[in-house]
Amino acid sequence: MADHPDDMARASVEASSLRDQLATIKLALAASPVRKYLLWLSVGIVAVIVATSVGQVLLNRWNQPFYDALARRDMQGFLHQLLVFAAIAGTLLVLNVGQTWLNQMIRLKLREALTVDLIGEWMLPARAFRLTHAGAIGVNPDQRIQQDVGHLSDLSTDLGVGLLQSFILLASFIGVLWTLSSGFVFHIGGHSLAIPGYMVWAAILYAGIASWLSWLVGRPLIRFNSDRYSREAELRSSVVRVNENIDAIALAHGEADAKRQLELDLGTVLGAMRRIYHAQINLSWVTDTYGWITVVAPILVASPVYFAGDISFGGLMMAVGAFNQVNASLRWFINNIGAIADWRATLMRVADFRIALGETDVLHDTESRIEFGENPEGRLTFEKLEIASPDGCTKLAEPHVEIGAGERVMITGDPRAGKTLFFRAIAGLWPWGSGRIGMPAKEIPAFVPRTPYFPLGTLREVLNHTGGAAKVDDAEISAVLAEVGLERLSSSLDRSARWEHELSDDEQRLLAFARLALRRPKWVIIDEALDTFDGATLRRVLAMLEKRLAGAAILNIGRGQHNIQFFPRSLTIVKDAGRPALKPASVRAGAIEPPPAVAVRRRKK
């Protein structure tokens, strides 16, 4: 159970399957506006890889006449084969450059498709808010959208193209190798033994054993990589948190504590990296041993036939070349076991994040939902409203409440009664509970939270951020700024800045009320945003609201220390701690749970 009524109980974690993860990515790509571009790029790279494979087959056939010319000391044949090589190599060079361009474009478009999809899913109404209360899967979405998607796009492209290329090369050369080894005859004790496709079976057996050993040793890297990404995200989050609170840290002489916490987070990252490096060293013993043996393996396999005189030196080199091509195709898994583990971990983080975005809409589905409706008579009503929370339920003292257009109502309650929870319920961010909220028909209320949000841009753009309302002219903007005491900002309308950093907390709230006045909504719901103002500032803001929003209904949720003439009606929020707490539902999440230190920090917020 959470320690604060505004904290939702953490959801349980249920890992999704690889099938679910791949289906989720497929769904995201199918709905992407760049899917046709991706399709044509994929067709193009398949064509280039097929053409490259044809060139590789021709290059392998070139081995026999070239080496036979060398064995015969045939200068004319040698020079001719060099010209043939130049033609084949030149064509392959062009194809390789084309494949590189197609590879990069697939990376670019794949990242665009996945990132746009995740941003769209994340920014659906109220989803991002609910996801922050969904447990470990909702931690650090910035890393999943920015870093993990980019990494997944790069790995998917490289591994996908590499696998396709290996498959086509295998299909091209396995027939060549089968044909070359069909004449291999082993002479043992006066007996002759022919094994059809001898070198093909040798290559498959050789690569199969190495692949099995590589997977056995490298499989833990999936878990270790996922763990590392979680720890890296926590470290970055801690650095950002320290940077954003550096003033308070300096004033409290808290540098030592901040340093200690950053070092603890760094320690978890280094521990995760240490586990990865240990696993990679173990894997290197397998892959490097296999790599060195591969230098002589095809010659060892074909040497009995060569020494028996059944093939020429050129034929041996041609068979060795074909064996190497088949073996290179079969060893794709061995060469990429580390990258595959990394891809698997990154896929799990991205896909599970998208799965959670959809499932967060049904989070706490064991609880009843507040009914939302519209009142055609244009009134705001609360009918037996009870808002579920982890430590009870929040409700109004009066079971039936009606608020008419133009009314001004003060809504108060004890410090832990759940005033912000009530505000979120009206806004539709917190739908868990019972009863009904009836909104005035065809009206979109303006919600004013304690901490305002300002989009990036000029001050004029910030003040014109009015939910689709018509833009206002500079004269009216300047007049409203003067009414709230921010006249000094009138000369900064064309300046772009991060206003939440440039203005004090009270100035940010004053700017939010100025924006509210320019928007001119008919219904306004405020969450404790007036509570921090001193007497003179509060009177100035109320006078501005009286002038600019004379006919608007204004509900102020706060401590109740405001002008009763402006808010003649009052309601009370109460907490019924005896009601059952909100129960968590399951959200699938393959992400590693954060370390205990992270959970402790969350509870202290």
Task: Output the pLDDT for position 138.
Answer: 62
Name the more confident of 33 and 602.
33
Query: CB-based contacts of 204: which residues, under 8 Å, 6+ apart?
Result: 330
Instruction: Over range 68-94, report the average pLDDT.
Output: 88
Q: Specify whether 255 is located in the same domain as 137.
A: no
The answer as to whether 464 is a domain residue is yes
Question: Is residue 468 scored above 70 in pLDDT?
Answer: no
The answer as to whether 599 is a domain residue is no
Task: Output the pLDDT for position 485.
Answer: 92
CATH number, residue 542: 3.40.50.300
With residue 193 as reference, give the H or E element that holds it.
strand 191-194
Q: Specify whether 291 is located in the same domain as 169.
A: no
The answer as to whether 376 is a domain residue is yes
Instruction: Over range 74-94, report the average pLDDT.
Output: 89
Task: Output the pLDDT for position 379.
Answer: 92
The answer as to whether 237 is a domain residue is yes
Question: Is residue 47 scored above 50 in pLDDT?
Answer: yes
Task: Output the pLDDT for position 8.
Answer: 37
C-alpha span between 186 and 396 (Å, rounded): 93
CB atoms within 10 A of CB 73: 8
Task: Output the pLDDT for position 602.
Answer: 34
The answer as to whether 196 is a domain residue is no
Question: Is residue 336 scored above 90 in pLDDT?
Answer: no
Q: Specify whether 266 is located in the same domain as 408.
A: no
Q: Specify whether 389 is located in the same domain as 522.
A: yes
Q: Specify whether 277 is located in the same domain as 388.
A: no
Instruction: Over range 3-26, report the average pLDDT.
Output: 60
Q: Specify whether 359 is located in the same domain as 377.
A: no
Give how many domains the chain has, as a whole number.
Answer: 3
Half-sphere exposure of 588 (CA within 13 A, CB side): 16
Structure tokens of 182? Answer: 């069909």
Question: Is residue 482 scored above 90 in pLDDT?
Answer: yes
pTM: 0.63
DSSP string, 423-491: HHHHHTS--BEEEEEEEETT---EEE-SS----SEEHHHHHT-STTPPP--HHHHHHHHHHTT-GGGGG
Task: Output the pLDDT for position 171.
Answer: 78
Whats the size of the chain, residue-wise? 605
Arithmetic mean of pLDDT over the chain: 80
Q: Residue 484's Cα: distance from chain center in Å?
A: 41
Most confident of 157-166, 305-314, 574-583: 157-166
Task: Output the pLDDT for position 101.
Answer: 93
The answer as to whether 594 is a domain residue is no
C-alpha span between 41 and 33 (Å, rounded): 14
Structure tokens of 442? Answer: 């065809």
Domain that holds residue 297: 216-309
Task: Output the pLDDT for position 582.
Answer: 56
**Backbone φ and ψ of 443, nearest 5°:** -125, 140
C-alpha span between 400 and 297 (Å, rounded): 85
* Low-confidence winner among 404-413, 539-548, 558-567 (lowest mean pLDDT): 558-567
Instruction: Over range 277-297, report the average pLDDT.
Output: 79
* Low-confidence winner among 13-27, 118-132, 310-324 (lowest mean pLDDT): 310-324
The answer as to whether 190 is a domain residue is no
Instruction: Over range 402-408, report the average pLDDT.
Output: 93
Most confident of 180-194, 488-502, 513-527, 585-599: 513-527
Task: Output the pLDDT for position 581.
Answer: 53
Q: Specify whether 507 is located in the same domain as 407.
A: yes
Pairing relation of β-strands 446-448 and 523-527?
parallel
Q: Specify whether 115 is located in the same domain as 23.
A: yes
Query: Which of 264, 283, 309 finishes a domain?
Result: 309
Read off the pLDDT band of 307 (50, 70, 90): confident
Read off the pLDDT band of 1 (50, 70, 90): very low
Q: Specify whether 341 is located in the same domain as 433.
A: no
Predicted confidence (pLDDT) per residue in 370-391, tens digit:
899 999 888 999 999 988 877 7
* Helix pair 337-359, 149-181: axis angle to 10 deg: 140
The answer as to whether 526 is a domain residue is yes
Q: Classify residue 555 as exposed, middle or buried by CB count within 10 Å of its CB (0-12, 13-18, 19+).
A: buried
Q: Specify whether 325 is located in the same domain as 272.
A: no
Query: CB-based contacts of 284: which residues, under 8 Å, 6+ apart?
Result: none
Q: Specify whether 429 is located in the same domain as 455.
A: yes
Specify whether the backbone of 190 is left (phi greater than 0), alpha (psi in -120 to 50) or beta.
left
Q: Specify whether 82 is located in the same domain as 173.
A: yes
Answer yes or no: are the C-beta atoms of 553 and 403 closer than 8 Å: yes
